[in-house]
Amino acid sequence: MTEDMPPSLPLADAQLRRRAVLATGTAGAAALTVAGLPSGPAAAAGHRPFRHGIASGDPLPHAVLIWTRVTPTAASTPGSGKGPRVKVAWEVSTDRRFRHVVRRGTFSTGPSRDHTVKVDVTGLKPATWYHYRFLLDGHTSRVGRTRTAPAVSASPKHLRFGIVSCANLQAGWFSAYRGLADRDDLHAVIHLGDYFYEYGPGQYGYGNDDRDIRKHVPSHEVLSLADYRQRHAQYKQDGDLQDLHAKYPWIITWDDHEVANDQWKAGAENHTTGEGSFVRRRARAHRAYDEWMPVRMNGTAALRDGDRLFRRFRFGRLAELSMLDLRTYRDEQLKVPDGHVSDPDRTITGRQQMDWLKKGLRRGGGQWKVVGNPVMIAPVDFGALPDGLVDPVDDVTGLLPRDGVAYNVDQWDGYTDDRREVFAHIRDHQVTDALFITGDIHSGWAAELPYDASTYPLGDSAGVEFVCSSVTSNNLKDITGTPPRTTSVAVEELIKANNRHIQYVDFDSHGFSVLDLTATRAQMDWYVIGDRADRDTPITWSTSYATKTGTGRIEKVAKPL
């Protein structure tokens, strides 16, 4: 991916439909004829078959996924299992007016896959912007823009990604997505998990009273396949989310809430025996995820109801991105953070994924070895917090036992033998420029990764970790109900004082980050939003940190990219 960026893509649905009619003329009609699509129920005046938007993802040098969901009849609502099988046409072009269509085809869909469409478009050129759209019964979707990865042998001058995680619709508006969609300088968006939340209304919302800014659909915790499909559909109707999906390709992994809170390989914190088999629940959630998300699962875009989401992306010689799945294969979290956190028989990655990660770090597929890491890997010792802050901090991060022992049992701090294995592999194979990008804990962090935290900074670092804040999910000030930059500041300073490898913590802000990679440095910029309850809340730059090539250290940067 080179640094050249095209002009901003107009995204208003009405504008795009009008432009498509005016610009494509007979070419658009020809595409419909080739597709062999008869006029049908969707052709009725006022019907909107593409109401859940469009998306693209998992860019490779010669391929990219494109996605949509169609509503062919009024009865064909998400999760209903109703409606006819239909044939949806799709087109990919080098121009937004579709005068130069390079790939086209049709995709059959129906109730068995909730009328979703997911196409792995191949035969494309590397490092190239494309436009795409879908057609059904005389209706045309909005036009999306996507981009392929650079050739394996290419040396792009830089790569720039939007970084997000933890978007709870009940907790506020997705202004962070709006901020990224307004930019024209990204190559892709990386989502690090908690794309949606499984809770019902009133269970997890805005602030310490769990007020719902927008209520979840269905109106209960999701359990069935129909439930998960409806929840995906609700999120996909958010305007800011639709705009960002239409603007850039996404690279996505899940954390826990796409299934259930604090899930592990055989259960979850909020899954009870009365809710049936957890394994079956997870299979339903994964099936809906496969249907509704622009991701390759089990190495193919075809629907296989599979679990494998860890996968790797190469961006020329500059970077290789390994996206982890740290929920499906992990052992159960400890109830008490005792010596069992270091038990070599306990794992957060699973053996297959661990070996896969180590191979990617060792083989030198790109200068920057970027790891999409759903939960934090840097060790964190909170020390002795005041009693009144133990519960609020634990509510945000899931980190603290009552006695303040310095282990994060839901994250790599609860599986320290796995972390030791990764860090030892980096040291033993002299891996440089390892960069972990992380979500999950609703706060912003910049940390070095010490081989021995007790003596740091006298020793060396295995790499660097940048953690993005949440899109909307509650942070410390929201849980305590205190003004920003008051109570949280003392907690942040205590964390940094007890953890000399951590340079930046922000427990108060929501927003997004932008990661930029060059041959000489990696820089992360943090952007924050105002009030989540305000759909038009302002977005401002907060801070920036960078790591220089080969150092494993971070430093504060005076201005954003």
From first to last of its 561 residues, what are the pLDDT tens digits of the chain? 433 344 344 443 333 333 332 233 333 333 333 333 434 555 555 789 999 999 999 999 999 999 999 999 999 999 999 999 999 999 999 999 999 999 999 999 999 999 999 999 999 999 999 999 999 999 999 999 999 999 999 999 999 999 999 999 999 999 999 999 999 999 999 999 999 999 999 999 999 888 999 999 999 999 999 999 999 999 999 999 999 999 999 999 999 999 999 999 999 999 999 999 999 999 999 999 999 999 999 754 444 445 799 999 999 999 999 999 999 999 999 987 777 888 999 999 999 999 999 999 997 789 999 999 999 999 998 655 555 675 676 677 655 433 335 457 899 999 999 999 999 999 999 999 999 999 999 999 999 999 998 889 999 999 999 999 999 999 999 999 999 999 999 989 989 998 999 999 999 999 999 999 999 999 999 999 999 999 999 999 999 999 999 999 999 999 999
Whether residues 390 and 359 fall in one domain: yes
Last residue of a domain, one of 147, 176, 203: 147
492 is a domain residue: yes
In this structure, what CATH number is given to the domain that contains residue 61? 2.60.40.380
Residue holding tokens 């992306």? Answer: 313
502 in the same domain as 530: yes
- For residue 536, tell me if it sits in a domain: yes
> What is d(CA 360, CA 422) in angstroms, rounded to the nearest whole number?
11
Residue 523 to residue 547: CA distance in whole angstroms: 7
Amino acid 546 reads A
Are residue 73 and residue 206 in the same domain, yes or no?
no
pLDDT at 6: 40
User: In this structure, is residue 342 part of a structural domain?
Assistant: yes
**Among 95, 125, 147, residue at a domain's last position:** 147
Cα–Cα distance between 237 and 175 in angstroms, integer? 14
Asked whether the beta carbons of 287 and 279 are under 8 A apart, the reply is no
347, part of any domain:
yes
**In contact, 459 and 452? CB cutoff 8 Å:** yes
Do residues 277 and 401 both lie within one domain?
yes
Q: Please identify which residue in the block is written with the tokens 């033998």.
A: 417
Domain of residue 88, residue span: 13-147
Verify that 49 and 184 share a domain, yes or no: no
Answer whether 73's CB lies under 8 Å from 49's CB. no
In a domain, 154, yes or no: no
Alpha-carbon distances of 299 from 305, 312, 454, rounded to whole Å: 12, 10, 41
Give, as one character, the DSSP assignment of residue 274.
Answer: G
| pLDDT number for residue 341 | 87
Closest CA to 200 of 216, 186, 181: 216
Instruction: Report d(CA 326, CA 353) in Å as an integer.
Output: 9
The answer on 494 and 423 residing in a single domain is: yes
What is the reported pLDDT for 133?
98
SS3 call for 275: helix
131 shares its domain with 180: no
Residue 367 within a domain: yes
Torsion angle defined by CA atoms of residues 99, 100, 104 and 109, in that order, rounded to the nearest 10 degrees: -50
Looking at the structure of the chain, the number of domains it has is 2
Angle at 68 between CA 102 and CA 253, to 5 degrees: 100
**DSSP secondary structure letters along 472-510:** SS--HHHHHTPPTTSHHHHHHHHHHHH-TTEEEEESS--
Within 71-190, residue ranges assigned H as helices are 175-181
6 in any annotated domain: no
Model's pTM, two decimal places? Answer: 0.90
33 and 70 assigned to the same domain: yes
Tell whether 172 and 299 lie within a shared domain: yes
d(CA 142, CA 406): 50
Which of these three, 92, 127, 147, is where a domain ends? Answer: 147
What is the domain-level CATH number for residue 520? 3.60.21.70
Domain match, 140 and 229 both: no
Residue 322 CA to residue 330 CA, distance in Å, equals: 18
Q: Are residues 221 and 127 in the same domain?
A: no
Same-domain status, 68 and 187:
no
Any idea which residue has 């997004």 for tokens?
512
Q: Residue 542 falls within a domain, yes or no?
A: yes
